[in-house]
Amino acid sequence: MKQKIQDKFASLYGEGGVLYASAGRINLIGEHTDYNGGYVFPGAIDKGIMAKLKVNGTSKVRAYSLDYNEEVEFGLNEEDAPSQSWARYIFGVCRETAKRGGKVEGFDTVFAGDVPLGAGLSSSAALESCFAFAINDIFSNDFNLFELAKIGQSTEHNYCGVKCGIMDQFASCFGKQGCLIRLNCKTLEYKYFPFDPEAHGYKLVLIDSCVKHELASSAYNKRRESCERAARAIAKLHPEVEYLSDAKRVWLEEVRTQISEEDFLRAEYVIGEVQRVLDVCDALERNDYETAGEMMYQTHFGMSRLYEVSCEELDFLNRIARKCDVSGSRVMGGGFGGCTINLVKKELYDNFISVARARFTEQFGHEPKVYDVVISDGARRAE
């Protein structure tokens, strides 16, 4: 990938330029908790985006996507938004940098990525973080990593229509090889946890259903609205509740008749999930992978039945995992398709993968994909 980027850059834009890289992410547990002010527990992975950038002395950006074999040129004012969705991410990052007082002028760039699209591994956050980091560097702005993550998040909100939380961009910016990161999304306090399942006889593996259901972003935004309604109802009785994650389970009961059944179920899932992140971190500190795994199954149940962001294919993969004695398994990321994340004892790995492949293919007519998880570094210079 690096060589292809170098070659294309040289042929289109000549000498010079600096290479940057950023990463997709996994999340061990803590799903749909970020925009509720709760905890998440992600890590960056060895699949990401790489881009070469060079200031070009004009007021235009010339960007070439190697994956789409397409070049787009755009200006840096609000009305210059390109129509290609991949280019809107870069444009959004430029705009959000400028809105925060950062310097952004014209530049040339060639980029490519190897994060599977639609797999729930945050290819978009990888793209945003790569460019947020790179633009900060080439124009000598001094935004810190949190500000860069927020530039990516605001790009999603304002240029891509997804009212996402901070998890993906945070993981993509702060990722560190061999570590998961527990982030409190309300206070932004975070802690690195060395994570080496292999040393304890386990493997972490993703099974990609290769399905992406329509309307995922509007369904995502609706989940967020449900949570905000529930939090507002609880806050009337308990003013200290700013986010749903501040609420106790019994407080949710108190407003049961004031909110819809649907909002109640969504909130019930989130309050349980916030606690599960803490429980998993405690379990891992004791090297208790079985308890961590059991929590993952509970999360799957919640995401499927209460939060309703799973789908037939992912529920199927989850059941197969149970049958194959996999220690933990659940839908990962926003949901509505993508991957399950699975914590499996090494000696059960081969059987699980072959059974999952065969049964899934028989049932749905296409093979799932399998990715071993390698926890890696986040946004950085790549030279």
Residue 167 binds to ligand GLA (criterion: CB under 6 A): yes
CB of 175 to ligand GLA, least distance (A): 15
Residue 92 binds to ligand GLA (criterion: CB under 6 A): no
Q: Which two tokens stand for residue 333?
A: 């990321």
CB of 32 to ligand GLA, least distance (A): 5
Asked if residues 274 and 30 have their Cβ atoms less than 8 Å apart, the reply is yes
**Interacting residues with ligand GLA between 96 and 125 (CB under 6 A):** 122
Residue 293 binds to ligand GLA (criterion: CB under 6 A): no
Of 373, 322, 351, whose CA–CA distance to 121 is shortest?
Answer: 373
Side chain identity, residue 15: E
- What are the CA-CA distances from residue 77 to residues 70, 257, 340 (Å)? 22, 48, 40
CB of 70 to ligand GLA, least distance (A): 25
Of 183, 157, 156, whose CA–CA distance to 170 is shortest?
Answer: 183
Considering beta carbons, is residue 108 or 156 the nearer one to ligand GLA? 156
- What phi and psi, each to the nearest 5 degrees, are found at residue 258? -95, -10
The per-residue DSSP string of 238-307 comes to -TT-SSGGG--HHHHHHTGGGS-HHHHHHHHHHHHHHHHHHHHHHHHHTT-HHHHHHHHHHHHHIIIIIS
Instruction: Candidates 38, 116, 165, 337: give the one binding ligand GLA (CB under 6 A).
Output: 165
Number of shown-chain residues binding ligand GLA (CB under 6 A): 11
**Interacting residues with ligand GLA between 4 and 33 (CB under 6 A):** 31-32
CB of 185 to ligand GLA, least distance (A): 9
Per annotation, catalytic residue among 34, 108, 168, 208? 168
Residue 337: beta bridge partners?
A: 212
CA 217, 221, 225 angle in degrees (round to 5)? 170
Residue 128 binds to ligand GLA (criterion: CB under 6 A): no
Pairwise CA distance, residues 70 & 72, whole Å: 7
Instruction: Candidates 164, 183, 204, 259: give the one binding ligand GLA (CB under 6 A).
Output: 164
Asked if residues 164 and 181 have their Cβ atoms less than 8 Å apart, the reply is no
Return the number of other C-beta atoms located less than 10 Å from residue 282's C-beta: 12
Among 161-169, 195-203, 342-350, 359-367, which window interacts with ligand GLA (CB under 6 A)?
Answer: 161-169
Binding mask 320-349 for ligand GLA (x = CB under 6 A): -------------xx---------------
CB of 163 to ligand GLA, least distance (A): 9
Among 88-96, 160-168, 244-252, 360-368, which window interacts with ligand GLA (CB under 6 A)?
Answer: 160-168
Considering beta carbons, is residue 17 or 328 the nearer one to ligand GLA? 328
CB of 216 to ligand GLA, least distance (A): 9
Residue 168 binds to ligand GLA (criterion: CB under 6 A): yes
Instruction: Judge whether 350 counts as a catalytic residue.
Output: no
Q: Give residue for tokens 């989940």.
A: 223
Return the number of other C-beta atoms located less than 10 Å from residue 51's C-beta: 28
CB of 202 to ligand GLA, least distance (A): 22
Pairwise CA distance, residues 232 & 350, whole Å: 48
Instruction: Candidates 23, 28, 29, 34: give the one binding ligand GLA (CB under 6 A).
Output: 34
Pairwise CA distance, residues 140 & 7, whole Å: 26
Residue 150 binds to ligand GLA (criterion: CB under 6 A): no
State the residues that interact with ligand GLA by CB under 6 A. 31-32, 34-35, 122, 164-165, 167-168, 333-334
Catalytic residues: 168
